[in-house]
Amino acid sequence: MRAFTGAFGLPEPRGDPFRAAPRPAATAAPAADRAAPPARDGASLARFFAARGRRVVDAMGVLWTEYRRPFYASLPFQRRVDLDPGALRHALRTRRIPAVRYLSVTQPGCPSGVYTLSPTGYGIGRVHPKRRRRVRRGLDATECRTLDPDELLALGLELNLDTLHRQRRFDPEFADAVGWRRFVAAVRTCPEVSIGGAFTRGRLSAYDVVCRDGDWLHLLHKMSRTADLATDAGVALDFWRLCRAAGDASLRGVETGFAPIVSGDTLHRYKTDLGFELIGCDLAIRFHPALEPILASRWTVGAARLLARLRPRSHGLERVANVLGGAQRSR
């Protein structure tokens, strides 16, 4: 187990492998795409999640953050690790962590992976030929530039509500005024975080949130206006962001999320068309020792799979069945 140092304050006491990290103090520094690499992989991501009110912990040489409840995810997202099962069970039990997920090297789990891209030499030639016309159309119709936090606070909430409604989901961090102000405040305090925006006829059509962590750039969030989807503003913003990354010789890679664990996901084609590569590996899933015998049992997994087959159009049931099946394989 490694202790927090530097930006994360005092060293971690022994015997507490999942001690929450204290929030860092705000400091002035260059913008995200010019920030100096931190001393530890995942430190910048951890700082941003902590500033947003997410719990950040350190165990077995890995930083973890509250991700999608009830799961904690390992940081940085593209890193693959194999963890000692006994030590992990002890950490989950002593700190009452409901569940963790991490990309493994050899340990079995749910088939998954992570989308990455090498920015060196990136340009229109790396885009799939059938997608290039939409990139050019979006660039002709929009102006892409960096947003400051004040602009994000004033303009972003409208796009958040529009996107969440279109995707039929709710996220209080982006839909609630209080949650949104806290998110923007976190952006202000984390110099590694940068916001890009695509404007169509003077109004914000899409924005993204990225975080520089060491020599990697992480594309964390993206919101867009439904009425402007036909202008391909979002495509233009993604291409603009990747071209900016290509101009930074110190960047080794760009990461844009995990592979879907449900069928029918359209983002895979979009991401690969832009030049991202899916690095396939298993997503190890472990539940708290009090929950794992129940949730990862043969009977529970079988029941979840049966329900998913009975309702094949339900991505929610399919996701639950795949997660529980992955947890069963990870035991």
Express as a percent the part of the chain with pLDDT over 90.
81
SS3 291: coil
Q: How confident is the model at residue 10 (pLDDT cuts 50, 70, 90)?
A: very low
Average confidence (pLDDT) over 138-167? 97
- Domain coordinates in residue numbering, the chain: 116-279, 291-331
Specify whether the CB–CB gap between 233 and 260 falls below 8 A.
no
pLDDT above 80 (res 6):
no
Sheet with 110-117: list strands edge to edge.
56-59, 62-66, 71-75, 99-103, 277-287, 110-117, 253-258, 216-224, 203-213, 193-200, 143-147
Between 323 and 4, residue with greater pLDDT = 323
Q: pTM of the prediction?
A: 0.86
Average confidence (pLDDT) over 278-306? 96
Q: Quote the pLDDT of residue 14.
A: 31
Residue 134: name the closest of 231, 244, 204 by CA. Answer: 231
Average confidence (pLDDT) over 299-320? 94
pLDDT above 80 (res 4):
no
List the structure tokens of 133.
């016309």
Specify whether the CB–CB gap between 66 and 72 falls below 8 A.
yes
Q: How confident is the model at residue 284 (pLDDT cuts 50, 70, 90)?
A: very high
Q: How confident is the model at residue 39 (pLDDT cuts 50, 70, 90)?
A: low
Q: Quote the pLDDT of residue 230.
A: 95
Q: Establish how many alpha carbons lie within 13 A of residue 50's alpha carbon, considering only the half-sphere containing its beta carbon.
A: 25
Beta strand extents in the chain (DSSP E only): 56-59, 62-66, 71-75, 99-103, 110-117, 143-147, 193-200, 203-213, 216-224, 253-258, 277-287
One-letter amino acid of 104: S
Q: Quote the pLDDT of residue 317.
A: 94
pLDDT above 70 (res 177):
yes
Average confidence (pLDDT) over 186-211? 97
> What is the rounded CA–CA span in Å between residue 98 and residue 95?
9
Name the CA radius of gyration of the chain, rounded.
Answer: 20
Query: Which CATH number is correct for 116-279, 3.30.200.20, 3.40.630.30, 3.40.50.150, 3.50.50.60?
Result: 3.40.630.30
pLDDT above 50 (res 34):
no
Average confidence (pLDDT) over 96-120? 95
How far, in whole angstroms, is CA 217 from its chain's centroid?
Answer: 11
Q: Quote the pLDDT of residue 7.
A: 34
Length of the chain measured in residues: 331
